[in-house]
Amino acid sequence: MVVPYEGQSFSTLRRQCRMNGCLFEDPLFPTSNQSLFYQSNSIGVVTWKRPKELCSDPHLFVDGISAHDLHQGQLGNCWFVAACSSLASREALWQKVIPDWKDQEWDAEKPETYAGIFHFRFWRFGDWVDVVIDDRLPTVNGELVYCHSNDKNEFWSALVEKAYVKMCGCYEALDGGNTADALVDFTGGVSEPMDLTENGFKEDEEKRNELFERVLKVHSRGGLISCSIRATSAAEMEARLDCGLVKGHAYAVTDVRRVRLGHGLLSYFKSDKLTMIRMRNPWGQREWNGPWSDSSEEWKRVSKSERLRMGVTVEDDGEFWMTFDDFMANFTDLILCRLINTSYLSLHKTWEEAVMQGSWHRHDDPLLNRAGGCTNNKQSFLQNPQYVFDVKKPEDEVLICLQQKDRRATLREGQGENLAIGFDIQRVELNRTYRMHATQQKVGGSTYINSRSVFTRIDLPEGRYVIIPTTFDPGLEGDFLLRIFTDVPSDCRELTLDEPPQTCWSGFCGHPSLVSQVHILNANGLAGQDSDGVSDPYVIIRCEGQKVRSPVHKNTRSPEFNTKGLFYRKKANKPISIELYNHNVLKDSFLGQVMLPAETGDFQQTLHLRDKGDRRDNDLPGTVTVVIVTSEVLTKI
């Protein structure tokens, strides 16, 4: 879905300008200091000029589009320029950001059709937003102040930057930012920031190799990648190291590959290959000067044809190669922006996407409050919004991204700081349909950070889970977007009700008065049912006509079930039964059951299985460990 920014329609505005014979002037982004700064003028007298006033033959693109087209101007937005460099290497992606580019290009044969208006698209909060701008660009002494191209008559980078700036309020709002955010805005993908100093990447060769495979996969499937070396103080920001790299500076990754060593036909039969990565400095200069830098001796080990295939050049153009080991030794942060492919026609992995929009808002009633803060706030944490989803495979890789609305546009009003946000993932009962009022088994979550988005990639076993997105502090309000990606549909939905609603039939059929949680931990010594003496067991919990069935556990007589069921009970005197079965192709066989008496209170106990007649002289082999959390009075929830 494409949404016009502030209701401005590109086609309507261009048609009006052509009819009136005038060039477009954007009333929403005037040629004044308020479009440049939100604090104070730091660059002097600025003159706004159209491309025709800067050169005689302007174009959007000169000889196509490439990462070499971009040079950072007088603004600390290397994060944005690095993302643009990555974008420029992906035709399918930049054509989304720069739609109808041929139609927007200057036409020398029909100069009367030019109306001084352009439009670009960015993914924001679940929608592609179409942003209209005029072509007036800020200059000082006849030179573009901000992002510009190598070619004086190429303007795509300056115009894309202006459209992005318009959404953010002013140019100064881009001074410092997060490359991960820009990559998402260009693709609608999901960015995963990685700290390379953690998880043993630098010390463990096997982990480095696994990471290279992940980086290569993201790159080969059209994703965008950025990296940086963390600066630990203001003095270190953009400080050049002896190796030529710059601290606190975002680099775009423009290629990832295994490079064949050797010359001639024999090189094709050698197993020697280097894992290598290519990067670009948005400044367009200052490169890595270590092994495999542009003119280093190491390149003699690679054939000329291989160098041509890799695009190796000996120029100070800001782009350079290095081995992945050297990359890991020098860089501290990596951002992988995955493109989320949901097409069933694709040869690559597809994802099932669930998108939830919600908000944190305050209310005096604890049952209606949705701004409870993080787990530090034990009394209010579970008052936050809650979303339930299912993992339907024995194990699934789950991607979860929580995003808040960008606040850059409100910097001028002193409201531009992001909230510190994060989320918890808790494993819950297989049949949960109402909101949680007590914490359960935490299986994952994110860090809390005042970033526009937080991300977690996690492998989860089959079961039901609840995600609780929160602000770090309670009482803070804001809108958020929650995206969940799984291999099979997760049936994600918000939990809105606190308990079963009362209906007109409640008086006749009875309304639940108690809520009981039954948790089956494990079983031991089950009778073998298969030819190899083991079972494929599963458990069923039954209560008042309701049942919960666990997944099947393969080839075991001692399954770790970790299965929970939640029952809203009308008949507190009715027992709860736990039945174990062995899964067979034709008909499942009964292994035994445990009957829990109605008066059972909170306990954890190992119980012997019996047959369905509950004859105590006919115990079946095996035990089952059960935890019962009995029966909160429902009205106290």
Catalytic residue IDs? 78, 249, 281
218: amino acid identity, one letter: V
Are the C-beta atoms of residues 179 and 226 closer than 8 Å to each other? yes
Residue-wise over 239-260: b if at least 16 C-beta within 10 A, else e? eeeebebbbbbbbbbbbbbebb
Q: Please give the biggest Cα pair distance in the chain.
A: 101
Q: DSSP assignment of 482-551, as one string?
A: EEEEESS----EEE--SSPPP-TTHHHH----EEEEEEEEEEESPPP-STTS---EEEEEEETTEEEEPP
306: amino acid identity, one letter: E
Tokens 């030794």 locate to 329
Burial degree of 633 (CB within 10 A; 0-12, 13-18, 19+): exposed
Q: If we measure between CA atoms, which residue out of 58, 67, 83 comes closest to residue 164?
A: 83
- 204 CB-near residues (< 8 Å, 6+ apart): none
Q: If we measure between CA atoms, which residue out of 141, 150, 152, 145 comes closest to residue 172?
A: 145
Are the C-beta atoms of residues 352 and 485 closer than 8 Å to each other? yes
Burial degree of 536 (CB within 10 A; 0-12, 13-18, 19+): middle
Residue-wise over 334-370: b if at least 16 C-beta within 10 A, else e? bbbbbbbbeeeeeeeeebbbbebebebeeeeeeeebb
Q: Could you give the CA distance from residue 483 to residue 496 in angstroms, rounded to a whole number?
A: 18
3-state secondary structure of 179: helix
What separation in angstroms does the CA of 381 have from each of 377, 421, 503, 579, 636?
A: 6, 13, 30, 35, 17
Q: Could you give the CA distance from residue 494 to residue 434 in angstroms, rounded to a whole number?
A: 9
What separation in angstroms does the CA of 604 have from each of 313, 597, 600, 608?
A: 69, 14, 11, 13
533: amino acid identity, one letter: G
Burial degree of 385 (CB within 10 A; 0-12, 13-18, 19+): buried
Q: Which residues pair with 465 in a beta bridge?
A: 389, 427
Output DSSP code: residue 240: B
